[in-house]
Structure 1
Amino acid sequence: MDVPREATIQHIKLLLWKQAQSFPLFPALGEMESHMFECVNQAAVHEELEDETRRLCDVRPFLPVLKLVTRNCGRAERLLDSKIGVLISKGLHELDGINDQEVKDFRSKMFRMSEERMQKVQMMTCMEWLEACFSPQLEPAPGTAITDGLNDRPADLKVTIHFDQSQVRVCSPVTPIDLMELALRKWLTTHGPEEEAWRGQYVLRVSHCLEFLCGDHPLIQYKVSAWKQISKLTKLNIRYHILASPLHATSSLHSTQVQVRAGLFHGTELLCKPAVSSESSGRSDHTWKDSTLEFDISVSDLPRMTRLCFAIYAVMDKVKKQKSTKNHYPIAWVNTMVFDYKGQLKTGDIILHCWSSFPDELEEMLNPIGTIQTNPYTENATALHIHFPEYSSHPIIFPPFDKVRQLSVIVLSVPYSPYSRGGKKFHIELKEIMERDALSQLCENEKDLIWTLRHDCRENFPQSLPKLLLSVKWSKHEDMAQLQALLQIWPKLSPRDALELLDFNYPDQYVREYAVGCLRDMRLTYELSQYLLQLVQVLRYEPYYDCALTHFLLERAQRNRKIGHFLFWHLRSEIHMPAVSVQFALILEAYCRGSIPHIEVLKKQVEALSKLKSVNELIKLGTIKNARKAKEAMLTKEAMMTCLRQSGYSETLSDLHSPLNPNVLLSGINVEKCRYMDSKMKPLWIVYNNKLMGGDTLGIIFKNGDDLRQDMLTLQILRLMDLLWKEANLDLRIVPYGCLATGDRAGLIEVVSSADTIANIQLTSSNVAAAAAFNKDALLNWLKERNTGDALERAIEEFTLSCAGYCVATYVLGIGDRHSDNIMVRSTGQLFHIDFGHILGNFKSKFGIKRERVPFILTHDFIHVIQQGKTGYTEKFGSFRQYCEEAYLILRKNGNLFITLFALMLTAGLPELTSVKDIQYLKDSLALGKTDEEALKQFRQKFDEALRESWTTKVNWMAHNVAKDNRS
């Protein structure tokens, strides 16, 4: 059939039925509504075209072939499934085909919850619906708290009940169980067995320790017995062998020995000594028959979140100076949980397909922080066959904690004197340990001290919970039980402090539930949005799909469309990654089913980005063919504009909510102002008319081929710095423009209006590119041309404040590659930085020599503007320096927060953030561990160095300007 490429699927179906009428068996075809088309899409998978309003050019089948099939169920349900599949770029039939009971159970649960959610939406009043979909954004005044305007409601009433020891009268001698039973009876006579008062701040003060919680007392026998059910068992044993493993991928493996190493981890803590296999050699397919790995730990002492990590590596002999040594070369790794998602100890045979890419600097060559998902590309992956033995005729279930909660209605808190358990000396030492930064390592003696004084920690250092958790001996179930009981009476942390508990180092289910409970205090949309990037990334650390963090994110996203918008894009932009593909697809499906009205809005954005990608690919193709022909380059631009004017493109790209900011409506493209940028990936510069902005145009840059996630992280941190400064009554006029990754190496960047680069400002003022960088008047004259009188005074003050903010921010974050084309100035005076491809001190070098020799950019032409063009105007420069120092000290106070946010991004795959060593730069730049006076002295030295060495910046800028002038 000849059909227009702009035709809708419905129109094609009408044409088909019209032609089919001439065939003899047409009556047997049945009703048109009972059929639909299928195709093979660009991702080489079958796609059901249930949504018949889509055009053929949007569907883009891999081949010009559509298959007619009969619908199997209700059309409305299939239509919704089809829309969700297109929206999340993963057909739901793929999820249907996953033979995993955990996936099925999670989808079933989310389906029920989504139906309940949509029923609540239908019951909403008009105002409630508006609040959820279009929550207002109010910019806070410096020094004030941020509010949404709709959430200024009184906090929930909290009642604290305190019983003195004198109120529980017992005869001596007394056991802890006697006290607990008496207090329990007293409580139940007043309240009732079902009231979960343990969640409040009820405290019974007694003079006994918590150690009895894991003793053989009848009151709590159930949990101990659950552990004791397997306590008499021998060590954990695992049988394994490798079958049909393509180890020949390493050229010399046929003549080497190959070994398997396995370790049991709780977070990054190794629970016992790793087990190592015997060596296998001589073949590309290595097989160990009847081999057993034994771990020196009892099954009963395995924590609930134990990971079993494997590494396969080659052992090669190396002779050096008549000494023979063995070198180990990693081949593959894979991880799995010891308990399944229901808490049942795994038994039987499983096949694990390994990953071949190893992170740097792995201890024991094991990768506990890596995913527990197996490699989906099974054809070329090493297959590790594992056998978990059966220890009992009945399934062994990890003890559920809900019964402990029921029996811990009265939570015991141990009174203490400042000199108990070791005296004042140890409490001083504890204080010193607790005040260290998050990157400081704890030695075993310090861990023992923290654990011994854990109740002191709760009373005096509640924010030190992460250090206490690192001090728990997770390989002892008695310590685990004590920790979990103590957790029930631990004071709530602030949401900012609680973020650290979502790090990989704290995998315990109840710790993470506690952390999410603290995050629920973030009632404001703005605050949750600030940390959403990290909250999505730490989903990678969750071993099971159904977890507290997933529920929290879905709940908030479905209650507030702005949160839902960014949750959708953060998940969708990484759904192509094999390690998270299924997990993120399941969460996206759950969000869409519970936010059906939002689907069409998001679908429009997805289609628009697909069109922009097509335009970008067209330009790349044209510029490659005509690389050195200026005339042909003009033709490429004309082809781009012709493409954008086509109805299929203009309709899709118009009247959509901006992915960068869903509160902004992009009405229509101003085609004449659109262009593509002259860099390798040919980013598109798209200009929109905006009816809601008084006729002003809005610009967005579409990038295809560049990973924007590092830029997105840096801008998020700049936004946080701006917030922290404003909370301290310091507004440094930061410009954290919008940036959003939308797919595999694709995304959008906001164009800041009325701004130009330092390079363009300098080049405009001089006829000679080499001299432009040394013209100190160029920048001030540029501002004078755009501002006069009081407006010029304001512009210079804006420049001074923003320059101070970015000097401190770029120094603290170690932002490199600072040439004159990635520093910009607005006509109103605000200076700001763009393009954050190098962070955390990863400065560019050439021939082994660092090109950037200053801690941050502070050139004499910047100072010339700050001093209003007056050489001896030291008062203004003194104010600028004071702004810098004040801003630096404010960031120092929040050093642990910055470390936490970067640590939570370690598994995101950013090129310059791969290990804790990368984050060490923040500790050094913020001078954590030093006093404010020492830190300020260090910063002043860096400030003076930036001034003294600013000439080197000018030389670099001159070279950049000359190179740019030659290219043009």
Structure 2
Amino acid sequence: MPPAMTDDLDLWAAHSQLCGEDLVTVDFLLPTGIYIQMDVPREATIQHIKLLLWKQAQSYPLFPSLGEMEGHMFECVNQAAVHEELEDETRRLCDVRPFCPMLKLVTRNCGRAERLLDSKIGVLIGKGLHELDALQDQEVKDFRSKMFRISEEKMQQVQLMTWSEWLQACFSPQLEPGGGATPVTDGVNDKQAEASLKVTMHFDQSQVTTYIKACLQAKECPHLTLVQVSTVQAMFEKEISAIGAVVNRKSSNPPLPLPPKRRGPSNTVISHDHRIMVNPLLPPQVQVRAGLFHGTELLCKPAVSSESSGRSEHVWNLTLEFDITVSDLPRMARLCFAVYAVMDKVKKQKSTKNAHINKYQTIRKAGKVVLICLCPPDELEEMLNPIGTIQTNPYTENCTALHIHLPDYNPHPILFPPFDKGRGGKKFLIELKEIMERDPLSQLCENEKDLIWTLRYDCMENFPQSLPKLLLSVKWSKHEDMAQLQALLQIWPKLSPRDALELLDFNYPDQYVREYAVGCLRDMSDEELSQYLLQLVQVLRYEPYYDCALTRFLLNRAQCNRNIGHFLFWHLRSEMHMPAVSVQFSLILEAYCRGSIPHIEVLKKQVEALSKLKSVNELIKLGTIKNARSKTKEAMLTKEAMMTCLRQSGYTETLSDLHSPLNPSVLVIWEWMCVEKCRYMDSKMKPLWIVYNNKLLGGDTLGIIFKNGDDLRQDMLTLQILRLMDLLWKEANLDLRIVPYGCLATGDRSGLIEVVSSADTIANIQLTSSNVAAAAAFNKDALLNWLKEKNSGDALEKVIEEFTLSCAGYCVATYVLGIGDRHSDNIMVRSTGQLFHIDFGHILGNFKSKFGIKRERVPFILTHDFIHVIQQGKTGNTEKFGSFRNYCEQAYLILRRNGNLFITLFALMLTAGLPELTSVKDIQYLKDSLALGKTDDEALKQFRQKFDEALRESWTTKVNWMAHNVVKDNRS
């Protein structure tokens, strides 16, 4: 028997692997106080282990007092160092992954079905529901209670559905227009049966059984409506008490105790009665700055404290006053703090830390409040960071704590003033039209804002899509303007879903504006919603409350369409490791699971499969480290280990009958896996290359790359935008044969990439055609000859047309998006002729350089060997080249007409923390590349100049490719 392979890298499991054992020694703690140590199979289910324990326990004292075996379950300490109840006994021990080999037997409480469902949901979302139960947060409790009732109603509706209704609701089959297929119905007559779509379904008991929990009667908290009252004229003020500290006495010079650093906007938050620990090594002079914001707009001049001297504790005992009345504070106002050191007399700031509180919390929490601060991103210019999260900082130890006191301004109920209709002014429609046609990044001066606000009714009648600019013109510090705006929203025409997306940006935090935007999104088809789902999940971060219109909209659409639910689940779960959103996203995931119980088992299988692949990847990394001295030995041992792992029963069961996370409509069957063709790639993170035989498509292979250690979110965003470009071109009757392959982030720096079949890299094609690596990049015939080998006769002309169209599409797309690092291994060609790009680690003009010299000097890749293919190998074939150039210009102008949409989509991703998308300045690249603000003629002239530059300077690309080929050839 071959040595058993471990499923994780826990010490106890690794030890059993090295010893060649199939058993693991586990300590069992019984409720009778008896301790039993026993060897159990690593691949055994929890249910089987309990049977073995029960048999063993019969020979120990006090066994009769245990009672029935079914009345007990195991508990363990999981990898997150929290207690986990193993209610789902079909799981294997190797999948449970306890922190140490110890299981505690405990008595079950009543309601096993409910507890089993809770356990499954906890495992599925990666956060035990007991953690949510333990949160002392009334908003969390209210949200869960409401979602519980909604989910119960949803599952009751599912139970009353016919099979055809259930299929339509869960899977929504997309049929080709004009096709003869119709949905399957309960009573199908002969004629209908001939035209019906034949569907083969396999169900197990867990997929057709629903669990309905009894509705909990929870006392609702009184709804607190926050509005402005004109009679309240108290100046908004706050009192700074102190920064507290607990000194680490074990070290005279302890390290700076900051939480793990992450790029991108994050930070700031409120803590409720935590014990505070801060860095005792703060510089001697410390100040506090506070500002009131509505979105990114500063409502009044920031307030700054005096300087405080001290080491571990700074005390001010002073009041900061803002030049704004309480009655003029908008509902979504945010009070932001920054604690920073003053290094010299010119007020140089250092070591800034942020904290936020919004108006809802201000009024609810009158009195003492303790804020736990976080460090802002390095790139942040505004130290107050209004875009940061208001979620509680999970790193409560060793963090700066700011103690403040919020006075109770008004003991009486606060109500919004009645809606009022503003008066329009003189119509300056020509000037107004010019303002409204600007892109979203354009700044408005105060005179323009005044004009827009004065002509707000003209905007509504003539430029309804200008609502974002009207909102930027509102004086959010005047409650009269806010009341008039809310009245205007009641009669504002509905925007197209694409235009409404901009209203979900952080610049528009008003509750009524966001509800209006969601109302517009309801007109989206499921396909369109899927296109923008990535951004809609990200803007959930901007929602100040868990229970909001956007959350309910996404949950409703996800529970009505299995495909949307699938990707909503993975977009949320992939960021569960981020403290700023872990609670919010876990609440939404729990709500989705409770309303989509039949989907739980499908998703659970995917989670388990990814866990298995991660184990294989970590095993390979461990093996390559041990055998780093001998590259040949390394390859043999790790390849053998990988094969052994994939053939184990635990892996075959988990990886069989699996719906692909990349595409839930693709069912992967174990018998189709080509284990002998599976391998790992020779790069730092050792990605796995998994191959399946696709027996439904003529025996072609399906490939999936699993990456563990690389952040795929930027690739996912770029491919989404490429998919959108393809859609926009097709809407304009221009099909440029784009290949937006699948890519999905599934966790912290892990995910899946689809392998495009029958394709090879430019580098491989060039190296295969030449005996000398240095000369390969300059062989202009290599690519054309490769296509000729794959296609002969009349098929070649079609292939060259495919190459021409796709090359035009990617030239324009890579130029507009500023995609860098375009070496010959990042560009591929299919045997059908389609050219496509891969690996989007550098976007928005972040081109690579070495020794201060730019390695990429062209706006996009257009080499002479590409032109050689386009011209069919004929130097004088100017007609074909002219067609190619025309395709590029058409494609560019189409994207320009949708420039605002691209800017909006990137702006909505600012809070995701992508390495090359951290501020509005990064998005400025899109404005420049699309020449927004210029006429079509001016923009086309600019693009033609870039086109000529790409062609003229293509020799620099060939030099870079030559260097890449030489390095690659030496490594092989």
TM-score by length of 1: 0.87
1:72 deviates by 1.9
Of the candidates 353, 356, 368, which is equivalent to residue 332 of structure 1? Answer: 353
Instruction: State yes or no: 1:624 paired with 2:652.
Output: no
Note if contact 2:370-2:404 (Cα within 8 Å) is conserved in structure 1. Answer: yes
Aligned residues: 865
Match of 1:371 in 2: 389
CA offset at residue 631 of structure 1? 2.7
Alpha-carbon distance in structure 2 between the residues aligned to 1:514 and 1:454: 17
- Contact 1:332–1:358 (8 Å) recurs in 2: no
- What is the aligned partner in structure 1 of residue 90 from structure 2? 53
Distance in structure 2 (CA, Å) of the matches to 1:64 and 1:21: 22
**Structure 2 equivalent of residue 765 of structure 1:** 769
Say whether the 8 Å CA contact 2:226–2:331 is kept in structure 1. no
Give the deviation of 1:31 after TM superposition.
Answer: 1.3
Q: Aligned partner of 2:819: which letter?
A: I
For residues 702-851 of structure 1, the aligned pairs below 5 Å read: 702-851=706-855
Q: Match of 1:265?
A: 293
Whether 1:282 aligns to 2:301 is no
Do the aligned partners of 1:301 and 1:476 also contact (CA within 8 Å) in 2?
Answer: yes
- The answer (yes or no) to whether the contact 2:283–2:341 under 8 Å persists in 1 is no
The CA distance in 2 between the partners of 1:83 and 1:255, in whole Å, is 49
Question: What are the residue-to-residue correspondences of 1:53-92 with 2, within 5 Å?
Answer: 53-92=90-129
Query: 1:695: how far off?
Result: 3.4
Residue 239 of structure 1, CA deviation: 4.1
The aligned amino acid for 2:374 is W
**TM-aligned CA distance change 1:559 to 1:478, over 3 Å:** same
Contact 1:676 1:684 in 2 (8 A): yes
Pick closer, same or farther for the CA change 1:873–1:264 going to 2, 3 Å: same
Q: Which amino acid aligns with 1:935?
A: A
Write the distance in 1 (CA, Å) between the matches of 2:97 and 2:781: 54
Judging changes above 3 Å, is the alpha-carbon distance between structure 1 residues 226 and 721 closer, same or farther for their aligned structure 2 residues?
A: closer
8 Å contact 1:616–1:684 — kept in the other structure? yes
Mapped pair 1:636 → 2:638: yes
Secondary structure of the residue aligned to 1:2 is strand
**Larger deviation, residues 629-638 vs 674-683:** 629-638
Of residues 703, 706, 718, the one that matches 1:699 is 703
Task: Find out whether 1:294 has 2:324 as its counterpart.
Answer: no
- Give how far 1:412 is off: 6.2
Cα separation, 1, equivalents of 2:226 and 2:861:
65
Matched, 1:569 2:570: yes
Alignment-derived partner of residue 356 in structure 1: 375
Report the Cα distance in structure 2 between the residues aligned to 1:230 and 1:383, rounded to whole angstroms: 35
Kindly state the Cα deviation for residue 967 of structure 1 after the two structures are TM-superposed.
1.1
Alpha-carbon distance change, 148 to 910 in structure 1, aligned in 2, over 3 angstroms: farther
Q: For the Cα contact (< 8 Å) 1:148–1:525, is it kept in 2?
A: no
**Distance in structure 2 (CA, Å) of the matches to 1:530 and 1:356:** 34
The answer as to whether partners of 2:330 and 2:479 remain within 8 angstroms in 1 is yes
Q: Following TM superposition, by how much is the alpha carbon of 1:337 offset from its aligned partner in structure 2, in angstroms? A: 1.1
In 1, are the aligned partners of 2:226 and 2:360 still within 8 Å (CA)?
Answer: no
**Following the alignment from structure 2 to structure 1, what is the Cα–Cα distance between the partners of residues 938 and 230?**
57
The amino acid that maps onto 1:256 is P
The question of 1:99 aligning with 2:136 is answered yes
**Aligned with residue 907 of structure 1, among 898, 904, 911:** 911
Given that residues 227 and 331 in structure 2 are in contact (C-alpha distance below 8 angstroms), is that contact kept between their aligned partners in structure 1? no
1:18 corresponds to 2:58: no
Alpha-carbon displacement from aligned partner over 1:214-241 (angstroms, at most 9, x marks no partner):
xxxxxxxxx9997437523333334442
Counterparts of 1:473 and 1:6 in 2: how far apart (Å)? 65
Whole-angstrom distance in 2 between the partners of 1:740 and 1:448: 45
* Preserved contact between residue 449 and residue 473 of structure 2 (Cα < 8 Å): yes
Distance 1:745 1:148, change over 3 A: farther
1:525 aligns with 2:526: yes
Q: Is the 8 A contact 2:170 2:559 kept in 1?
A: no
Preserved contact between residue 336 and residue 373 of structure 1 (Cα < 8 Å): no
1:224-259 superposed Cα distances (whole Å, 9 cap, x missing partner): 997437523333334442222779866996553100
Please report how far the alpha carbon of residue 392 of structure 1 lies from its aligned counterpart in structure 2 after TM superposition. Answer: 3.0
Shift of 1:21: 2.0
Cα distance, 1:375 vs. partner? 1.2
CA distance in 2, matches of 1:844, 1:573: 28
Which residue among 894, 900, 916 is the counterpart of 1:896?
A: 900
User: How far off is 1:636 after superposition?
Assistant: 1.1
State the match for 1:171 in structure 2.
none
Corresponding residue number in structure 2 for 1:589: 590
Q: Quote the residue 2:402 is aligned against.
A: 384
Equivalence for 1:31 = 68
Taking the TM superposition and a 5 Å limit, the aligned residue runs for 1:187-586 are 227-228=228-229, 231-244=232-245, 255-288=283-316, 290-317=317-344, 325-340=346-361, 345-363=364-382, 365-394=383-412, 396-399=413-416, 421-422=425-426, 426-522=428-524, 524-586=525-587
Determine the C-alpha separation between the residues in 1 that align with 2:843 and 2:822.
11
Residue identity matched to 1:846: K
| Distance in structure 2 (CA, Å) of the matches to 1:369 and 1:919 | 16
Q: Distance in 1 between matches of 2:100 and 2:843?
A: 44
CA distance in 2 between counterparts of 1:225 and 1:312 reads: 28
Mapped partners of 2:176, 2:341: distance in 1: 58
Structure 1 distance, partners of 2:609, 2:803, is 37
Q: Is the 8 A contact 1:50 1:78 kept in 2?
A: yes
Residues 237, 406 of structure 2: 8 Å contact kept: no
Residue 693 of structure 1: how far off its partner (Å): 3.3
Identity over the aligned pairs, expressed in percent?
A: 83
Match in the other structure for 1:120: 157
Q: 1:706 and 1:232 mapped to 2: Cα distance?
A: 54
After TM superposition, give the deviation of residue 820 of structure 1 in Å.
0.3
Q: Deviations over 1:638-685 (max 9, x none)?
A: 111111111111211121000000000111221011000001100000
1:946 corresponds to which of 943, 947, 950: 950
Other-structure match for 1:169: none
Match of 1:671 in 2: 675
Q: CA RMSD in A?
A: 2.2
Contact 2:232/2:327, CA 8 A, preserved across alignment: yes
Change in 2 beyond 3 A, CA 1:727/1:554: same
Rounded to whole Å, the distance in 2 between the matches of 1:374 and 1:311 is 16
Matched residues in 2 for 1:384 and 1:901: separation?
36
1:874 aligns with 2:878: yes
Instruction: Structure 1: state its 5+ residue gaps.
Output: 151-222, 318-323
Q: Is the 8 A contact 1:266 1:307 kept in 2?
A: yes
**Cα shift at 1:330:** 3.5
Q: CA deviation at 1:540?
A: 0.4
Is 1:338–1:346's contact at 8 Å kept on the other side of the alignment?
Answer: no
CA gap 1:77/1:931 in 2 versus in 1, 3 angstroms: same
Contact 1:241 1:291 (8 Å CA) reproduced: no
Q: Distance in 2 between matches of 1:614 and 1:673?
A: 19
Amino acid at match of 1:333: N
Measure, in 1, the Cα distance between the counterparts of 2:377 and 2:507: 19
Equivalent residues of 2:291, 2:300 under 8 A apart: yes
Contact 1:776 1:860 in 2 (8 A): yes
Q: Distance in 2 between matches of 1:252 and 1:29?
A: 52
The verdict on how the C-alpha distance between 1:344 and 1:314 changes in structure 2, with shifts beyond 3 A counting, is closer
One-letter code of the match for 2:371?
A: L
Return the alpha-carbon distance in structure 1 between the equivalents of residues 665 and 465 of structure 2: 36
The change in CA–CA distance for 1:814 and 1:304 in structure 2 (over 3 A counts) is same
Q: Quick one: structure 1 residues 325 and 386, their matched pair in 2 at CA, closer, same or farther if it must change by over 3 Å?
A: closer
* Partner SS state of residue 502, structure 2: helix
Q: Secondary structure at the match of 2:575?
A: coil
Q: For residues 799 and 226 of structure 1, what CA distance do their matches in structure 2 show?
A: 60
The one-letter amino acid paired with 2:529 is L
Q: Distance in 1 between matches of 2:388 and 2:227?
A: 30
Contact 2:763 2:824 in 1 (8 A): yes
CA–CA distance in 2 between the matches of 1:73 and 1:834? 53
CA displacement at 1:148 relative to structure 2: 13
* Distance (Å, rounded) in 2 between the aligned partners of 1:225 and 1:923: 39
